[in-house]
Structure formats: C-alpha cells, structure tokens
C-alpha cells in the first residue's frame, strides 16, 4: 500500500503535455492531478505479445469459467462503489450504517471517477470485443463502445476503496486488497477489460489517493470515517 501511494505522489507531481480537463470540479484532489495521466504507464501496444496474452486469458476464462465466476462478475459489474469492497469486512458495512464513510466516499468517488475518465480519454484503448470480434461481453457491453478500456473504471474504484479502508484498518489490509484484486479480475471475466487494464487501475488509484492526502477536507472526513470503521470492526 505504501509503495502504491508513493507512486501516486510521484506521478501526480509530474507535468507532461496538457491533458483535457474535465467539466466538473474535483473536491479532494488538486486540479493539477489530471496532468498526471501523462506520467502513467501506458497500456501495451495493440500488436504486442502482452495484448495477445491478455486476449488469450479472456478466452480461457470463457471456455471454462469457475463455478459462480460469471455470476460474481455480473454482481461486481452492477455494484461500483466502496461497499462492494467493504463487504469483505462483513455485513455491517452499508451506507445506511456508516454515514461518515458514505459522506467521505461521495467526495472520493467524484474525484476518482474524474481521474479514471481523464486517463481513459488520454489513452483511447479499445475494449477487448472491439479489438477481437471473437470476444463477447458476458456482462452486457456491446461492440462499438468508446475506446475507454484503460484503465478500468471499476478497477480504479476498487483499488481506491481498498487503499482507503486499509489506511483506516491496516489489520484488514490483506483481505481488502485481495477483494480489490478479485473485483478488478471480474472485469476480465466480463470480457470488458484486459488483465493489463487492472494493472493500470492500481496505478491510477495510487495517484488519486496520494493526491488526496494533501487535502484538509479529506483529512477531516477521513478521520471521522476511520473512527466509524474501526468501531464497526471492534478495533
């Protein structure tokens, strides 16, 4: 976790060519964070061995999915929020029972979604089913969608959530990051993303969380959410 956030600080401090700025305003991150997409590791070239390997993994999954793998991937597809990761900690974690965490997440979700979208627009990476017509999404996406595969938005959300919750409850870090990995893998199971998109999502999450740490508003809301989370876990 420390390395991921450190990479976020470094990437967010680099300024390349001017990136397209989103229409809405960020709440917790600095507006300059959107220049950090230029410092991100780019996706593999479309004609690279890595892309062939990524597509082969999708085909292998769809040929013989593990029990409930498709069902779980569809559930994850339909639940794009911190609670999809927090469920690894138990049933107490709901927006109704955790108002401080829900309030923090509303701001975080705004900003992480903006950054993921800016990165997607920057890289213009086609979805698997647009690169190879033999790939079919089992989660409902159709060919001809915008080139927004890298990084995965769901994956970025999952890794941001795992980072934040791990900072609140480091005792549960292994469980949370395993859940985030599973959540990102669900996008590959869907056929909507490549495995390399998940790697980009982890990097994007580190940039977002690293940048947020400098925000006084974040620190205040994070402290309240942390107290709430630790109390719910009996820590």
Candidates 221, 213, 177; CA nearest to 33 is: 213
Task: Report the mean per-residue pLDDT for the chain.
Answer: 91
Top-tier CATH class for 2-233: mainly alpha
Task: Give the residue extent of every domain in the chain.
Answer: 2-233
> For the segment 5-35, what is each residue's pLDDT rounded down to a tens digit?
545 544 444 433 334 444 579 999 999 999 9
- Residues 85-119: tens digit of each pLDDT: 999 999 889 999 999 999 999 999 999 999 999 99
pLDDT tens-digit profile of 147-180?
Answer: 999 999 999 999 999 999 999 999 999 999 999 9
Q: What does the pLDDT read at residue 201?
A: 98
* pLDDT more than 70, % of the chain: 90
3-state SS, residue 188: helix
From CA 228, how far away is CA 152, in angstroms rounded? 29
Would you state the pLDDT for residue 67? 80
3-state helix, strand, coil in the chain (%, to 5): 65, 0, 35
């Amino acid at each position: 976790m420390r390395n991921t956030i450190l990479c976020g600080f470094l990437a967010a401090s680099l300024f390349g060519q001017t990136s397209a700025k989103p229409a809405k305003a960020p709440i917790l991150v600095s507006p300059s964070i959107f220049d950090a997409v230029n410092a991100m590791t780019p996706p593999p070239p479309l004609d690279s061995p890595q892309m062939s390997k990524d597509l082969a993994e999708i085909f292998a999954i769809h040929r013989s999915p593990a029990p409930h793998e498709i069902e779980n991937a569809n559930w994850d597809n339909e639940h794009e929020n911190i609670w999809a990761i927090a469920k690894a900690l138990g049933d107490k974690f709901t927006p109704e029972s955790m108002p401080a965490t829900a309030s923090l997440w509303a701001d975080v979700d705004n900003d992480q979604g903006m950054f993921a979208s800016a990165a997607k627009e920057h890289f213009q990476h086609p979805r698997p089913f647009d690169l190879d017509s033999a790939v079919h999404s089992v989660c409902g996406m159709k060919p001809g969608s915008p080139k927004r595969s890298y990084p995965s938005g769901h994956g970025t959300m999952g890794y941001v959530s795992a980072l934040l919750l791990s900072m609140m409850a480091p005792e549960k870090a292994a469980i949370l990051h395993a859940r985030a990995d599973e959540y990102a893998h669900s996008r590959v199971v869907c056929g909507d993303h490549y495995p390399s998109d998940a790697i980009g999502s982890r990097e994007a999450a580190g940039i977002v969380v690293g940048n947020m740490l400098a925000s006084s508003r974040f620190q205040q809301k994070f402290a309240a959410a942390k107290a709430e989370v630790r109390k719910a876990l009996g820590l």
